[in-house]
Amino acid sequence: MSGTYTVPTGRPEAARGEKRSASAIVAAIAELGGESGFAVKAPRRVEGRVEAAALHGFAAALRMRVGFEHLSAISCVDWLADGEFELVYHFWSYRDNCLVSAHVRIPRDTATMATLTDLWQPASFFERDIHEMFGVEFLGNEDLEKYILTDWKGPPPMRKDFVSRDFAHDHFTYKNYEPSWDEMIDGGYYSGGQNGGQA
């Protein structure tokens, strides 16, 4: 870790107080201005779309002014047909026991996103993972080292256009025997066919 992040410390004022309902949280998000696409998805879940450029400001406002002080995960979805990645930021409020999911779409070929490590240092963990598995570049995160696939030289393996089977056959050597199990199963060998299931 570079240790240069300035992460806000202490609990924001909005993180204290009465428990709010999900619709009250939607109203509080709308009060921030700019983001009006949030809606109640379930009694303790709020979901909405955020523009990629606005995400960092939205996350900061959600933390400091609405009181969602915990970034619980960042996940990534590869929409190959749309040519887009969808990053889903999950924010949690201990005050409300409620989850806010902010969905961000970024183009697949120039996959860059602003980092959240200046707000939540543990975001680096998720961003490293997404960088490794999907190849998304997080601007401002200086710690995008290899995480799990330490000896990996191929393309990001969780992209939909990565064919694991072809990669495995190119990079590993299998034992040279050819079981004909599929033919035996098709021929009814195991299912009460010619052998009466007595395989």
The site for another protein (CB under 8 A) is made up of 148-151, 153-154, 157, 162, 164-165, 167-169, 171-175
Question: Among residues 165 and 196, whose Cβ is nearest to another protein?
Answer: 165
Q: How far is the CB of 169 from another protein (least distance, A)?
A: 8
Query: Per this entry, what is the length of the chain?
Result: 199
Question: Among residues 6 and 171, whose Cβ is nearest to another protein?
Answer: 171
Q: How far is the CB of 158 from another protein (least distance, A)?
A: 10
Q: How far is the CB of 134 from another protein (least distance, A)?
A: 14
Q: How far is the CB of 149 from another protein (least distance, A)?
A: 7
DSSP string, 12-57: -GGGSSS---HHHHHHHHHHTSS----EEEETTEEEEE--GGGHHH
Residues 109-145, buried b or exposed e (16+ Cβ, 10 A)? eebebbbbbbbbbebbebbbbbbbbbbbebeebebbe
**Does an H or E element contain 164, and which?**
helix 164-171
Question: Among residues 88 and 184, whose Cβ is nearest to another protein?
Answer: 184
Question: Among residues 92 and 147, whose Cβ is nearest to another protein?
Answer: 147
